[in-house]
Homo-oligomer: A and B are copies of this chain.
Amino acid sequence: MQTYAPALQRIPLFQGITESEIAALLTCVGAAAVTVAKGEFALIAGDAPDYVGIVLHGQLEISRVDADGNRAILSKIGAGDCFAETLACAGIPHSPVNVLATELSRVVKLPYQRILTSCGNACAFHGRLLSNMLGILARKNLTLQQRMEILDKKTIRERLMLYLSRQTEQQGDPFRAPFDRNGLAEYLAVDRSALSREIGRLREEGAIRVERNVFSLRGKAGQ
């Protein structure tokens, strides 16, 4: 039945928990696996997100519907990703988002209340689950915060330079960005061509060096 325990072993939520412990945990919290056909919803706006969702396989998109009926896709998730965990933890009674399967998918739902209330059994890994959960939320928090600092800047140059200096701090000086130009432009929330233009200017001024997605803050002279 719970043949999906092995697959879960690698995702952040279950890090540090052995396969057999995961299996025990799943029955302990009353995990339920469901299949979601393409075009169907794993979670509908308005429903209570009282569980943590995990994608076993497939592809789903998280979207929000405006009052005007416009649908905005917030993100896409695949195997190993979680969903609804923030809503569940925040205790939001009605989901503001939809989770729609764009292909045949299978997801597990862990009832949030039973994640919280540690079972009577002496399952120490239950504590680990909570710890992992806190870690996931906190790291997502830091990620959001980091991008927000960038989006607070008003010019492309400021956003780019802040991004570059942050990355340089973390990865050392010549560093490889995990984006192509399009991705970087999206991350900085600016137009791609305008970004290219600004990169060109900075390069010409000798402030940065660029080759494909490898950046260096050392000017030409500095080598």
Contacts and interface: CB of A to CB of B under 8 A. Distances in A.
Interface of A: 66-68, 72, 74, 85-92, 116-118, 127, 130-131, 133-135, 137-142, 144-145, 147-149, 151-152, 154, 165, 168-169, 189-191
A117 B141 CA distance: 23
- Copies of this chain, count: 2
Contacts of A141: 86, 90, 137, 140-141, 144
Nearest to A91: B135
B90 A138 contact: yes
A133 B205 CA distance: 48
A121 B207 CA distance: 60
A76 to B, nearest CB: 16
Nearest to A128: B116
A221 to B, nearest CB: 18
Nearest to A92: B142
8 nearest A-B pairs in the assembled complex, by CB-CB distance: A89-B138, A90-B138, A151-B151, A137-B137, A144-B144, A89-B134, A90-B139, A86-B138
10 contacts: A72-B149, A86-B138, A86-B142, A86-B145, A89-B138, A90-B135, A90-B141, A90-B142, A137-B137, A141-B141
Contacts of A117: 127
Contacts of A67: 165, 168-169
Nearest to A139: B90
B135 A116 contact: no
A96 to B, nearest CB: 9
A89 B141 CA distance: 10
Contact of A116 (B87, B127, B154, B168): B127
Contact of A148 (B72, B88, B89, B151): B151
A130 B142 contact: no
